[in-house]
A and B are shown apart, each in its own frame.
Chain A
Amino acid sequence: MTNHFCDFKNADVIMAIGSNNAENHPVTMAWVQEARAKGGKYIVVDPRFTRSAALADIYAPLRSGTDIAFFGGLYKYIMDNDLWQKEYVTNYTNASFLVNPDFAFDGATGLFSGWDDEKKYGTADTWKYQIEKEEPWDTAKTYAWTQAPNVPEFTLPVNKIAKKDPTLQDPNCVWQLMKKHYERYTPELVSSITGCPEDKLLEVYEVYASTGAPEKSGTILYAMGQTQHTYGSQNVRAMAVLQLLLGNVGIAGGGINALRGEANVQGSTDMAVLSHIIPGYMANPTAAKHPTLKAWLEAETLAAGYWANKPKFMISLLKEIYGPYATPENDFAYDMLPKLNAVNHTAIGVFESIAEGPIKGMMCWGMNPAVSQSNSTFVREMLGKLDWLVAVDLWETETMGFWKAPGADSASIKTEVYSLPAACHYEKQGTVSNSGRWIQWRYKAVDAPGDALDDFEIMHELFLKLKEKYEAEGGANPEQLTKLHWPYETDGRADITKVAQAVNGYTVEDGKLVKNFTLLKADGSTASGCWIYSGYYNNNDAPSDPTKQPAGSRLKDDPSGLGLYPGWAFSWPVNRRVVYNRASADVNGKPWNPDRMLVEWDGSKWIRNDVPDFGFQVVAPDGTITPTPPGKTAFIMNAEGTSRLFAVGTGMKDGPFPEHYEPFESPAKNLMNGGQTNPALTFGKAASVKPSDPTEFPIVCTTYRMTEHWQTGGMTRNIPWLAEAMPNMFVEMSEELAAEKGIANKDKVRVFNNRASIEMFAMVTPRFKPFTIDGKTVHQVGMPWHWGYASGNATGSVANDITPNVGDANTSIPEYKAFLVNVEKA
């Protein structure tokens, strides 16, 4: 989230699209209702009439997987009707930047310039700015730190300044390219693709576009309805571009707000429990691009903006990981970080790599891929090919018990499976980060039952045992493990507060916690496990007492009245509640809306309700403060200092502008361009996918979650109150489809495609309606994915048995939201 939960009350219009926020994040509704009480409008766009839709001012249906068509149509509406926030777009986006004249999009093929059948867009070289001039780093002043002793040597980047046309008239400027690109997205065509009636579409467009007025704010709530598509990243970009057009990013009541699915999925992402990154959103080294520390620094250090400081964060991370073993002489132990090859290592790839051979063992920490991973029948088959599996959880999960799944022959499954009992959240302590980036401490209230231990204790014991074995027996590169810096004990016991201190960061010499990441250095004198968290646990007066740390703070003051609550918990980065908040004020530093002031230049200094997301003052070594007058750099994480309507470079692997493609499995032809599906999607050719053809499987199916359960149901189907609250697996379908198939409510039905056939109850409801797509009736059904075979209280079919294991072009997040099935009475 760019903003946070309490901020929703500041919105004039709230659009939930790809999020069923009332059901899956019920706490949001209090804040949505506060906005509504002040006259705000709540729009819900969803394929089905949800509990959110029931509370909405406007509900618009949309066929699953057609969001980009919807957003593209909205851009065109905004541009055609001159509703964009002109000063914002001109100054805070790259609208005026000139793009390489060879950049093009071909509607006949649906391809952007630079496509290669083998390398996809990997070698596309036209998605670039025209360069005005080049500025080398000033190593005497701003970048003097690169010359300090022990800072690793690397070729310093050169800042390339783009050519611009502030009048936005140049045919190669981003603004003109964008207008041209979305010329095709007419309301008629968008309606025909999405199935949203044209009048409803225009009603939503009109209300949402009203937030383009400078003083108005509009916010978008989204979730996996956007990300779980083969173009999920482009869906997210599409929302970002919309918000930039309307000047809604960086303001109170605005932003792009991902309602993330798990209590700490924000934090676990920040901590980089992902194959492509290391903590703090830095690139995990690859053999091809980052063979050495020097190569990593050269490839990853941005030529301008805040990411120019990346070497400081990287060296500090290496110092945390390897401690005294990390020295300037050994490049701070950089070689010890495992380097990736070109194979896709994402979650889908894990199971493909079991099929292909390399993976022999697996550790699952509170994860249940036998239910949560797409094409889960294939997943369970692959689990049976492992030599060993360790599963740590509170309950017996379907993954842990895959060898006794319905139809499994346990005698033929040779996998040795360890089931380790873990503690729940109030049986241990540590922090969690909510979707609004607030890091909050959870304290221990009771002991875990029986012999259950918390995950950290288990990891700690496993580490000590491995270290013991490597020290005693030797083995492959033992130092990689044995030299890990592991000072996480107090009095011989695992101590999570020690980990918090390491994550926050400290100066190596005296072990004192650093105040925040601005004090981290690239010379090895500081250590920090995750630079963006620096400041969350920084009180040197009480390092073992979380109640005295920022993450444990519970001050309820809200001086601005905007719900910022600066003394409640700690919001990364540096306790900033609304990121990009420079954009909440005009180029002269005056807020677009004085009632929602986050920062304001009063002529001599910045008045601050929030922590500024820009350089607002310079503090001299003697403590003298010099305020920095307003500049136009509102997006400091981009080298060019602006946000991007056009995704420059190949940061996006499937095009600089979001373009509509049909889902991997779709009943419809792509009416927007000549390419049917996203050409850059991943795993489309994997044999395990077993595509399902619309002639045999004409019904669109989507999967989702419900209030009463959570994820694979491990946590909730084992709690009798919740098992009772929503006991059974079901498929929702329209009365029209039910009539066609001779299905009555509560009948047992089969939902099937080439991947599997699963049985469940039918829930026949007018809340589902057939869509009219390209003049033809298209049915859509939907089912929750909370059920499985392992539970003491409620069991049911695994929805993901029928979802396709194809991935988004950029992230390889699987397609859970739009695929094809057929339905029959069981």
Chain B
Amino acid sequence: MAENAILYDASKCSACKGCQVQCKQWNMMPSTLEKDGNEFTGTYQSMSDLNGDTRLLIEFREEDTPKGIEWAFSRRACFHCSEPACMDVCPVGAISKLDDGTIKLDSSVCVGCKYCTAACPFEIPKFRENFGVSNKCTLCDDRVAQGREPACVQTCPAAAIVYGPRDEMVAAGQARVEELKAEGYDKAELYGVTEMGGMHSLFIAKYGFEAHGLVRDPKKLEITSLMAILKPLTGIGVAAVFGGLGLSFLTSMGYEREGLPSKSKKGEAE
């Protein structure tokens, strides 16, 4: 089966958050019912990061430059890496790679150990407190299996998110980057072609990776491979047996994930 990919074009995105809400709608993800129970981020961004009930988040970063305001929008969700660290470390085999390259997290198998969150260089999988499992984008594999586009793709009013064979998406992304450069956006670049072995969610970064909060040259944490070796010992017990190791794993993250919104200072007053 040919590999498929999402191509997100930040230069066409109007940050309307249609994808963010339609993702929740299709995947039946709640938002808090509590009155005034949401944070104020100081920007147009809904919350500081993804959470257990939010698989896709539109992020906002802004920079005052001599060329004018660079308001960089980003679609933050699973990149569906070809070399997925989350899958390496999952002790129960809840994370799998589908033929088309989609990295799927099966919540009916997940035991909620949170290793995937810790291993992911982008901290994408999040824990659903009320359900005791991890959660992340599945590229709407249920829709794709029916020959339909992922929910975020279909709902994008400006066609800033498209989906198709990965090689075509890479070519389209590269062509668009060249167009943007010709228009004067000289820092434009395409994310996901080679990162983490190649991603199945590509990102046209209008103002360059850093401006959009993308980790340049991301790497698996070294401890990820150790966890992967221990993986044959699957089952619920694994978390208990290797609890100590797991804890050290979780705390070993010295890796500074620059640009992640929870650590970003964008939007803060100087």
Contacts and interface: CB of A to CB of B under 8 A. Distances in A.
A–B contact (CB under 8 angstroms): yes
Interface of A: 22-23, 26-27, 29-30, 33, 49, 51-55, 59, 706-708, 720-728, 730, 735, 738, 743-746, 761, 763-767, 791-795
Contacts of B197: none
Which 7 A-B residue pairings sit nearest by Cβ, starting from the closest?
A: A727-B38, A766-B64, A724-B31, A720-B31, A29-B158, A22-B14, A745-B269
A793 B35 contact: yes
B21 A722 contact: yes
A55 B32 contact: no
A708 B38 CA distance: 14
Contacts of B157: 26-27, 29-30
A284 to B, nearest CB: 38
A30 B17 contact: no
A33 B159 contact: yes
Given A26-B158, A793-B35, A761 B18 contact: no
A765 B69 CA distance: 10
A30 B68 CA distance: 24
Contact of A49 (B43, B46, B71, B158): B71
B16 A26 contact: yes
B40 A728 contact: yes
26 contacts: A26-B158, A29-B14, A53-B69, A54-B71, A55-B14, A706-B44, A720-B30, A720-B32, A720-B33, A721-B24, A722-B21, A724-B32, A724-B46, A724-B47, A725-B17, A725-B21, A726-B46, A727-B39, A738-B269, A744-B268, A745-B268, A766-B62, A793-B33, A793-B35, A793-B37, A795-B36
Contacts of B159: 30, 33
B73 interface: yes
Given A29-B14, A707-B15, A744-B269, 4 more contacts: A26-B14, A26-B16, A707-B16, A794-B38
B69 A727 contact: no
A52 B40 contact: no
B42 interface: yes
A722 B54 CA distance: 13
A371 B157 CA distance: 29
Contact of A792 (B20, B33, B62, B270): B33
Contacts of A49: 69, 71
B12 interface: yes
B16 A791 contact: no
Contacts of B69: 49, 53-54, 766-767
A391 B31 CA distance: 29
A168 B25 CA distance: 61
B237 interface: no
Contacts of B37: 793
Contacts of B62: 765-767
A708 B14 CA distance: 12
Contacts of B165: none
Given A793-B33, A794-B36, A54 B42 contact: no
Interface of B: 11-12, 14-18, 20-21, 24-25, 30-40, 42-44, 46-47, 54, 62-64, 68-69, 71, 73, 157-159, 267-270
Contacts of B43: 763, 765
A745 B46 CA distance: 16
A746 B39 CA distance: 10
**Most chain-B CB neighbours within 10 Å: which of A23, A27, A766, A795?**
A766
B87 to A, nearest CB: 29
Contacts of B35: 791-795
A44 to B, nearest CB: 12
A721 B33 contact: no
Given A720-B33, A723-B38, A52 B14 contact: yes
B21 A721 contact: yes
A730 to B, nearest CB: 7
A726 B44 contact: yes
A675 to B, nearest CB: 36
Contacts of A744: 268-269
A3 B32 CA distance: 41
A36 to B, nearest CB: 9
Contacts of B11: 55
A55 B12 contact: yes
A796 to B, nearest CB: 8
Contacts of B20: 725
A29 B156 CA distance: 10
B33 A54 contact: no
Contacts of B34: 793
A23 B31 contact: no
B61 to A, nearest CB: 11
Contacts of A33: 12, 158-159
Nearest to A27: B157
Q: Which of B24, B42, B63, B68 has the most CB of A within 10 A?
A: B42
Contacts of A29: 12, 14, 157-158
Given A23-B14, A726-B44, A738-B269, A721 B25 contact: yes
Contact of A723 (B24, B31, B42, B270): B31
A441 B30 CA distance: 31
Contacts of B25: 721
B17 A707 contact: yes
Nearest to A55: B14
A339 B62 CA distance: 56
Contacts of B269: 735, 738, 743-745, 764
B65 to A, nearest CB: 9
B267 A59 contact: no
Nearest to B57: A725
B92 to A, nearest CB: 30
Nearest to A52: B14
Given A30-B158, A33-B159, A720-B33, A735 B42 contact: no
Contacts of A30: 157-159
A764 B263 CA distance: 18
A762 B30 CA distance: 28
B207 to A, nearest CB: 10
Contacts of A708: 17, 46
A744 B54 CA distance: 29
Q: Which of A53, A730, A746 gathers most chain B CB within 10 Å? A: A746
A767 B31 CA distance: 29
B36 to A, nearest CB: 6
Given A55-B14, A795-B35, A727 B46 contact: yes
B158 A730 contact: no
Contacts of A724: 31-32, 38, 46-47, 54
A722 B30 CA distance: 11
Nearest to A25: B157
B253 to A, nearest CB: 27
A727 B12 contact: no
A821 B142 CA distance: 52
Most buried by A among B14, B18, B25: B14
B23 to A, nearest CB: 10
Contacts of A730: 40
A723 B32 CA distance: 9
A51 B14 contact: yes
B63 to A, nearest CB: 8
A54 B18 CA distance: 17
Nearest to B39: A727
Given A26-B14, A735-B269, A761-B40, A54 B46 contact: no
Nearest to B38: A727
B57 to A, nearest CB: 10
Contacts of B40: 727-728, 730, 746, 761
A720 B30 CA distance: 8
A760 B46 CA distance: 17
B113 to A, nearest CB: 27
B158 A746 contact: no
Nearest to A722: B21
A26 B20 CA distance: 14
A721 to B, nearest CB: 5
Contacts of B31: 720-721, 723-724
Contacts of B12: 29, 33, 55
